[in-house]
Amino acid sequence: MKIGNHDTQKKVFIIAELSANHSGDIQVAKDTISAAKEAGADAIKLQTYTADWMTIECKKEDFIIKGGTLWDGSSLYELYKNAAMPLEWHEELFEYARNLGLEIFSSPFSKEAVDFLEKFNPPAYKIASFEITDYELIDYTASKGKPVIISTGIATLQEIQDVVDICKKRGVETALLKCTSAYPAPRSEVNLKTIPALKEIFKTEVGFSDHTLGISAPVAAVAMGARIIEKHFILDKSIDSPDKDFSLTPEEFKEMVKAVRETEEMIGEINFKPKSGRQFARSLYVVKDIKKGEPFTRENVKAIRPGFGLHPKYLPEILGKKACRDLEKGDRLRWEDIGE
């Protein structure tokens, strides 16, 4: 997948998710973007919404968060109102990130958000896990002709197929991110084996949107085939943010990037050709002086290190044959040394 100047087939695309970690201060947002660049991120991702684009202001039980989340007791409207990034920041932040050489794009949560973001010509769009059932939003987003990255946290297999088909009809590239929509996500529920399965079933680019604590899950995800990594990023854990508990600090994010790049390098390619070390293998050597015309025996020829002589598999074939010349202890055995 091509996202701006980045090709996910050539290099894992690492996204720092700003989410609500701006704490209502544009300077904090800019400092966070700068720190993400310094920590090795390829992109910064925003979330574009207002509380009114997400839900309604209502205190009925259905609209009160519960279930063991970090936000239990708040209403949906209150959460989104407090966490939303002001729309008027976007232009400045897009320009700021691009001046740093970062890709910058966002998750739109409504058609209004898509229309708003189009003004900044983002290189891609991200559909959040909880929006995957909004087929109309996904179709509208895909209609803009840009790559669409979709988190699959709450989706059924059929829903994933549906949204892939929607994007395919629009002719846009699609990436599916394995995601566990728990905050933070228990490691036992991450199920990274799903990553290669997503690629096999849906024939799309695949990645991992991570809500676990620490950096082990994204590193393991890359080993499982993820070509996009998304992780929440926070300038400082003292910042008042609903996402801070499962976000990485700059130091932690930098360590994750380092581990991802090392893992990526080690994955390499399928290759059964040894590049080094053959000199330390066993091969056939003369271990006692042999005169011309004398037979080769198990006493004067053995498979020993180093590996510059004939392959040990030829020993049974050679035994009993006669030397074509005088051979000294320590000579590597060659075919031209062997007569009938």
Confidence of residue 69 (pLDDT cuts 50, 70, 90): confident
**Cβ count near 50 (within 10 Å):** 17
218 and 89 in one domain? yes
237 and 282 in one domain? no
Q: Which domain holds residue 222?
A: 2-49+84-267
Confidence of residue 243 (pLDDT cuts 50, 70, 90): confident
CA distance 4 to 26: 25
Mean pLDDT lowest among 15-19, 219-223, 239-243: 239-243
Q: What is the pLDDT of residues 264-320, one digit of tens each?
A: 999 988 888 877 778 899 999 999 999 999 999 999 999 999 999 999 999 999 999
CA Rg value for the chain = 30
Whole-prediction pTM value?
0.88
Three-state SS at 205: strand
With 0-12 CB in 10 A as exposed, 13-18 as middle and 19+ as buried, what is 171?
Answer: exposed
150 and 13 in one domain? yes
Q: Examine the fold and report which residue of 239, 267, 295 is the final residue of a domain before the chain moves on.
A: 267
152 and 290 in one domain? no
170 and 22 in one domain? yes
Has residue 10 been placed in a domain?
A: yes
Has residue 70 been placed in a domain?
A: no
Has residue 333 been placed in a domain?
A: yes
113 and 247 in one domain? yes
284 and 195 in one domain? no
Q: Examine the fold and report which residue of 213, 232, 267 is the final residue of a domain before the chain moves on.
A: 267
Has residue 71 been placed in a domain?
A: no
39 and 171 in one domain? yes
Non-local CB neighbours of 277 within 8 Å, separated by 6+ positions: none
**Burial track 78-91 (b if 16+ CB lie within 10 A, e otherwise):** bbbbbbbbeeebbe
CA distance 279 to 272: 17
How many domains, in total, are found in the chain? 2
